[in-house]
Structure 1
Amino acid sequence: MLAVLVGLFLALRPFSSLAVLLIAAVVGLVVAGGTQLVAAGRDGRHLRWVSGALYLAAAVVVLVWPGPTIRVLALVVGVALVVDGALDLWAGVRARGTARWNACLGGAASVLLGLVALAWPDVTLLVVGLVFGLKVVMLGARAIVAVTTGRPARAGARERARPGRWRLGGNAAVLLLAVVVAVVSVGLQRGAHRPDAFYTPPEAVPAEPGRLIRSEPFAADWVPDGVAAWRILYTTTRDDRTPAVASGLVLVPRSSVGAGAPPADVVTWAHGTTGVSPGCAPSVLESGLAAGAMFVADQVAAHGWAMVATDYVGLGTRGPHAYLVGDATARSVLDSIRAAHQLGGVALADRTVVWGHSQGGGAALWTGVLASSYAPELTLDGVAALAPAANLPELVHSLDGITGGELFAAYVAEGYTSTYPDVRFDDYVRPAARTLVREMAQRCLEDPGVLVSVLSTLVLDKPIWDGDPDRGALHDRLAQNVPSGPIDAPVLVGQGADDSLVLPAAQDAYVRARCDAGYAVDYRTYAGLNHVPLVEAGSPAMRDLFAWTGARFAGQPAADTC
């Protein structure tokens, strides 16, 4: 019964802290080993002695390993399951009748679960808890059956027909569940996005920011008709001004491609949150720019405008990705404009308007702040920020009360602790959530594996933060990344009144602060619109955005609602 209870805990509570999971796993290994040894003393089967000793040895390895990690636990559990399953299969080959099938089905399930634990490099908390929990439950159930029927339940023993068939059905069910776990794991891993060789920079990278390193034609189902597209690799800089490499996409109406073609006005797109690992770049993801909330690329092309869309440093290219770090993302945006103008045979006008949504909205505002000092040769005709992540201290403070907010909080924790040495991961993430946060930060919003992240957030009983995140070095860095400086170009801020992620009250406070500082802002709110619907095709905010952008290209004066 103890084995069943421990196994159920592991299977149903895999998102406990690493310490709790380690303790439960060690208890499970000891219980599994003890169950096997007791059964060996009852039926005298030598393979049971080997299996029991294996589980006890695995428990010792976990206990004595210095600083055991979840990957160590996955390795130990995976090896134990594979070896024990192989012993079961060997016993099944030597047995007869129902005993053979029981041993073979149970052994196959154990081997399959062990291979999943060894081969699954990402979702390790779920793997260790689920696959080992199922094994411990199976062993406990065997022991219970053996005690209640008065017969041994292992291969090679004589079995009454009815209990044997009952155990056969149980082993078949466990094997079926193991197959399901394996199939799901393969699907999740195959669905994870990874950059190809295009994103690998050459050994000699130019120090000058905004230099085009390479480009190649880009084709995808989502690229609008009548548009030529390229993906580009270009130079930019990190916060410490060391050279870096970023990637992006350039979409140009075919009417502006070729010798003598009229130049197209440029919309520069700063995308919303897609994740913080290299595979999360929109140019890598299957849905492309839509992954970062660009749903109107066809309308941009219909207006005859070109679009330059950076991936940011660390998405596509080597990280870290400075998530919600304004200066860093702004440099990626500005250098993408510089690089796009170096594409051969492409006619781009000097007129440029910056668009951004959510994370990209904050990046767009920062692009306006940074443009005159970082890229004085560029002229921005307008900056449009839709539901921008601008009031960062308030945004991070409110994530605990938002469904799924823990996922974005994990991105913040990863982005800020990898960017700023004074923001320490262990100072802000509670011990019970640290392993889980690291794992969530590895997944893109478009990866199938993000379902595990969503499941994780639903079963968490506390926030990921160790106390209030809006304090100390993190507070100072968040405040530092509020786009509060002057912007020479006209500024449009659009906000959904029903936004549940970037809260309207926080946006109101940000705009009010800009107005109080004497900066002009055209601030528009949209009743009934949440965070993503604000930028979907057909949204009144999009109609306003296209009209506002056309007016900027035409040199018309901009409104000021302050």
Structure 2
Amino acid sequence: MPETAAPRTPRPPRWRALAGLLEAAPPRVMMLLGAGIALLGSLIVIRPLASLVLLGVYVGVSAILSGLLELVSRHRAPTWWTRALAFVWIAGGVIVLVWLGRSIEFLPAALAILLVVGGLASLGDALGAKRLSVRVLALAWGAAQIAFGVLSLTWPDLTLLVVAVVFGVRTIVFGATLITRGTRRLIAARRPPGAQRAVAEPSRRALAWAAAGRYALSLLLVVGAVGGFGLDDFLSEGAPVVDGFYDPPSDLPLGHGRLIRTGESLGREPDRGSVSRILYTTRDAHGFRAVGSAMVIVPDDPAPGPRPVIIWNHGTTGVARGCAPSLTDGTATKWAIPALEQMLARGWVVVAPDYSGQGAPGTFPYLIGKGEAHSALDAVLAAGEMEDLVLSPQTVVWGHSQGGHAALWTSQLAEEYTPGLDILGTAAFAPAADPLELARELTSGDAGAMLTVLVSWVLVPYADTYADVDLNAYVATGARSIVREMTQRCLSEPGVMVSALTALGLREDSPFDTENLTSGALGRRLAENVPTGPWNTPIFVSWGTRDEVLPTASQRALVERLCAQGEQVRAVPVHGRGHQDILQPRSAMLTDLVRWTDTLRFAAVPPASVLDDCEP
């Protein structure tokens, strides 16, 4: 049956509390306020980070006003229910306003709680609604608010950005509404007395259309909530899970490079070898005790005697604990480690550290040389304590991208830190060898999405490692929680799309003071982490001529610097290849790499044509 009209109870809508306070304003004042509010909304949409503080104030004030309106308005829900929620609204608004003076990072949790409270209020309204369509819409709206409140805790950085932009759009709409309302009142005031139009009662057809609209909106809300949870499941399922193997015991062995435990690999194994995980003691960038994890890949048919070692320093995977390569499926394959099966066929053991802070707890040393090098060298010492495995001191260090930086530091510190290892040479593929120059290069242009994520991954570990690097000095107030959240996701998980979307949303409003990222304490620390040698053993440097991540000019500058220092350098630019492509099985670089590595071990007097491209 079509719905019939029911007596309406005057009730100011909760989400338009401010509009109710402006009802008595003169038309011209209302139009002027509308124009100002619309302009403010436009600025907020363009600069969402600046709006987060305004958003917090808006949320706090609106919550208090909503609570007060709940107390003085008549509702369909039971009185005790509306009063209880009213006091929750008021208390929540006061807490938000008070806490904003300490940290805006509290805002995502506040939004989540207030969304849940709003959802409960809507559910209460549904209990007393007489029209079926109104009841259904109230139930759907209440359930959707509760659902989105729960989801906002899962993705707080994206929630903040979306809500900030939505707040800006709503502010524009609110301003436009005031302009329209003021214009209409001004026109109505100029009409002759008694010229007001009669208001007709809604017809059955109009009521039917209104009910259909409510049902359609209810369906949309339900689909949105279900879709939100479905997307949450998809993004969360791909996140790596750190199992109990990586939790260190309370009583650690004394010294660094000591084996704590071994375990089975979680991923695929290469055709010619078997893979184990190890947990071991190491030292962080300051020399304090830490714990690291690594993979040890042993050939199936080794030659007799001690086995030489390749240290594989992996490239950027993220900076969170769950970004450890030993947690992913394909890390110990030829697609992830270049020339892996060739090295296993020659009897080499490959030790692949995660670095401390990945897998094992701790602070991840992203582009922090000493922390990376300690993790790599200690992994070899710990692997030497494994049963039925005898390692030769002969070691070659490989690394890609971040791992190229780590490889150079590993060889640079080996003689002092692990004098028992005989470092034969270092191979760095597209290395991020100069963090300071890289930061200057990246920040010289526009702040894009990739830069936003990358700077987060550098800045947060540096701030966590060095007391003089203050995160607050480089990040906008409203973006600190966003920057922290970006460091909690890995390149291998679908959730990194949230970081990318957030970064795209900040494209015109960078969260960083990019002009000062290379100065002050951060600039000094970046300069400290440029490897300077000496190495005194051959160095292999390779990069793709179409590298889309790191400037190829920086690789050529590295080769020139090493040659100027008197190092033996083999430079192998790979034409037509990108940042990752140079590692793939068909890359032309692999033939040179295998030949170079073989020559290091077997040639009593290595030929200069193989090892050194520097001019005499």
CA contact (8 A) 2:92 2:110 kept: yes
Deviation at residue 453 of structure 1 after TM alignment: 1.1
Q: Distance in 1 between matches of 2:103 and 2:47?
A: 14
In structure 1, what residue type is equivalent to 2:159?
V
Deviation at residue 459 of structure 1 after TM alignment: 2.1
Q: Distance in 2 between matches of 1:518 and 1:86?
A: 72
Report the equivalent of 1:24.
55
Runs (4+) of structure 1 exceeding 6 A deviation are: 35-43, 131-138
Which whole-Å deviations, capped at 9, do the CAs of 1:149-185 have from their partners, x for residues lacking one?
Answer: x999xxxxxx922112112211321221122222222
Report the equivalent of 1:431.
477
Deviation at residue 301 of structure 1 after TM alignment: 2.9
Residues 223-234 of structure 1 correspond to what in structure 2 (within 5 A)? 223-234=269-280
Residues 288-437 of structure 1 correspond to what in structure 2 (within 5 A)? 288-289=331-332, 293-294=336-337, 296-400=339-443, 401=445, 404-437=450-483
Q: Are 2:210 and 1:178 equivalent residues in the alignment?
A: no
**SS across alignment from 1:198:** helix
**Structure 1 residues 537 and 327: CA distance shift in structure 2, 3 A:** same
Deviation at residue 117 of structure 1 after TM alignment: 2.8
Report the equivalent of 1:552.
600
Report the equivalent of 1:266.
309
In structure 2, what residue type is equivalent to 1:82?
V
**Structure 1 residues 294 and 343: CA distance shift in structure 2, 3 A:** same
In structure 2, what residue type is equivalent to 1:271?
H
Q: Distance in 2 between matches of 1:53 and 1:519?
A: 73
Q: Quick check: which has more Rg, 1 or 2? A: 2
Q: Distance in 1 between matches of 2:51 and 2:335?
A: 37
**Structure 1 residues 462 and 104: CA distance shift in structure 2, 3 A:** closer
CA contact (8 A) 1:32 1:136 kept: no
Report the equivalent of 2:26.
none
Q: 1:528 aligns with which of 571, 576, 580?
A: 576
Which whole-Å deviations, capped at 9, do the CAs of 1:193-239 have from their partners, x for residues lacking one?
Answer: 23221111121212311111111222422x11342211001111123
Give me the identity figure in percent.
36
User: Gaps (5+ residues) in structure 1?
Assistant: 153-158
Report the equivalent of 2:249.
202
**SS across alignment from 2:374:** helix
CA contact (8 A) 1:387 1:496 kept: yes
CA contact (8 A) 1:276 1:441 kept: yes
Report the equivalent of 1:249.
295
Q: 1:161 aligns with which of 191, 208, 211?
A: 208
CA contact (8 A) 1:293 1:532 kept: no
Report the equivalent of 1:501.
549
User: Gaps (5+ residues) in structure 2?
Assistant: 1-12, 20-36, 182-198
Q: 1:512 aligns with which of 539, 560, 568?
A: 560
CA contact (8 A) 2:596 2:611 kept: no
In structure 2, what residue type is equivalent to 1:522?
R
TM-score (normalizing by structure 1) = 0.86
Report the equivalent of 1:155.
none
**SS across alignment from 1:167:** helix
Deviation at residue 462 of structure 1 after TM alignment: 4.0
Which stretch shifts more, 345-354 or 534-543? 345-354
In structure 2, what residue type is equivalent to 1:116?
L
Q: Are 2:157 and 1:125 equivalent residues in the alignment?
A: yes
Deviation at residue 457 of structure 1 after TM alignment: 1.9
Which whole-Å deviations, capped at 9, do the CAs of 1:135-157 have from their partners, x for residues lacking one?
Answer: 9999x99xx9xx9xx999xxxxx
Which stretch shifts more, 367-376 or 461-470? 461-470
Which whole-Å deviations, capped at 9, do the CAs of 1:376-429 have from their partners, x for residues lacking one?
Answer: 111012210011111221111222346512211111101211112222222223
**SS across alignment from 1:294:** coil
Residues 45-60 of structure 1 correspond to what in structure 2 (within 5 A)? 45-46=76-77, 50=83, 54-60=88-94
CA contact (8 A) 1:33 1:55 kept: yes
CA contact (8 A) 1:271 1:356 kept: yes
Q: Distance in 2 between matches of 1:227 and 1:181?
A: 43
**Structure 1 residues 459 and 110: CA distance shift in structure 2, 3 A:** closer
CA contact (8 A) 2:56 2:100 kept: no
**SS across alignment from 2:351:** strand
CA contact (8 A) 2:275 2:332 kept: no
Superposition CA RMSD, Å: 3.7
Report the equivalent of 2:135.
100
In structure 1, what residue type is equivalent to 2:297?
L
Which stretch shifts more, 52-61 or 261-270? 52-61
Q: Are 2:284 and 1:238 equivalent residues in the alignment?
A: yes
Deviation at residue 84 of structure 1 after TM alignment: 2.6
**Structure 1 residues 447 and 350: CA distance shift in structure 2, 3 A:** same
Q: Are 2:445 and 1:445 equivalent residues in the alignment?
A: no
**SS across alignment from 1:307:** strand
